[in-house]
Amino acid sequence: MTQNNSDPASSEGTPVLVAVGEGLLEVGVRDDLPSDYLGRGFGGDVANVAVMAARMGTRARLLTRLGADAPGRLLLDFWRRAHLDVEWIAVDPSAPTGMYVNAVRQGGHAFGYYRSGSAATRLSAADMDKRLLDGAGALHVSGISLAISGSAAQAAERAAELARDSGVAVTFCVNHRRMLRPDTDRNLAFARAADIVILSSEDARAVLGTDRPDRVRAALGEGPQEIVLTDGPAGAVVLTGGEIHRVAAPPVVVVDTAGAGDALAGAYLAGRLAGTAPPDALELAVIAGALSCRWPGCARSYPSAQEIARVRAGASPDVEPSYGESA
């Protein structure tokens, strides 16, 4: 099936991906650049998923809260340029926008988060309205959406209730983060009730005690119709219809892996909303995740639909990426 391009006008009438959770401003530091270098980036897992979906040509809507501050304004401006529907983003003058530091070092990166008491943690069930799901094909939530605060978890759960009442698919990225002290039972219940579950091998081992695809399938039960299990540079598998489909990742020169899993998730969900079969959607998604590693930062590093198509057609993945803030 033909994949949508990144022109927002071309996606009119297609199902909307609705994401509920947090956005974060990124401050990037690198060991291989001068000591006065500071990079500006844009993150938050569900926000990243929405940006990647929009780059694939999918209409994407984000519900979150931002502070009335410079980080909030930078995020909102970036999301608008990325063609997200930002109508449901509330500005809270009494709380700051969350931030994180992405310190890229030889052999990996380290995150430092500053989100305690952030505006996004004040999301609540009162923020939910059925109109949020107008035109929606899927509601996307993550384990971080459930973990940043009790009220945010209630917001995500209420959104899922409304989605099911409206016949909208629920998708869930497990994104288990120990530092947030997640309620594993709550997250597992959400995953088992979701239609599509995306998790890394690390997530699977932490939450399910195994990363073997057959055992992951058994542990999540019969609720999820599709399970995407990612494994970094090894690629990913999708379990659906009693079958397991594997996709290897293309080799790239890795600069920063931050946000690669979100890129994969966003491209996969965009493909599925466009009617692409799970194995083909996963192929696009794995390419998207790999290409995102060529530049530092999260959403700013995401490739376009055209870049992904070129690599799928056999082009080298290490051609000059279309890096920048525009989608």
State yes or no: pLDDT of 154 exceeds 70: yes
State yes or no: pLDDT of 4 exceeds 70: no
Domain count for the chain, please give it. Answer: 1
Backbone angles phi, psi at 228, to 5 degrees: -105, 120
Q: Could you tell me if 179 and 187 are in contact, meaning their C-beta atoms sit under 8 angstroms apart?
A: no
Average pLDDT for residues 271-293, to the nearest whole number? 97
Residue 41 included in any domain: yes
Residue 266 included in any domain: yes
Assess whether 7 carries a catalytic annotation: no
Give residue 282's domain range. Answer: 8-312
Q: In the numeric block, which tokens belong to residue 26?
A: 């990124």
Residue 320 included in any domain: no
The CATH number of residue 99's host domain is 3.40.1190.20
Q: What is the pLDDT of residue 5?
A: 37
Mean pLDDT of the chain: 90
Backbone angles phi, psi at 256, to 5 degrees: -160, 125
| 31, 185, 262, 280: the active-site residue | 262
State yes or no: pLDDT of 320 exceeds 60: no
Residue 221 included in any domain: yes
Backbone angles phi, psi at 272, to 5 degrees: -65, -40
Name the residue among 260, 284, 264, 286 with its Cα closest to residue 274.
Answer: 284
Q: How far apart are the first and last CA of the chain?
A: 23
Measured between alpha carbons, how far is residue 263 from residues 129, 157, 177 in Å?
Answer: 27, 24, 18
State yes or no: pLDDT of 147 exceeds 90: yes
Entry pTM: 0.91
Torsional sign, CA 318, 319, 320, 323: negative
Average pLDDT for residues 261-277, to the nearest whole number? 97
Other CB atoms within a 10 A radius of the CB of residue 74 amount to 18
Residue 78 included in any domain: yes
State yes or no: pLDDT of 170 exceeds 80: yes
Q: In the numeric block, which tokens belong to residue 160?
A: 């899922």
Distance of CA 118 to the CA centre of its chain: 20
As a whole number of angstroms, the distance between CA 69 and CA 71 comes to 6
Q: What is the pLDDT of residue 39?
A: 78
Average pLDDT for residues 88-110, to the nearest whole number? 87
Residue 38 included in any domain: yes
Residue 319 included in any domain: no
Residue 155 included in any domain: yes
**Per-residue pLDDT reduced to its tens digit, 229-259:** 999 989 999 999 999 999 999 999 888 888 9
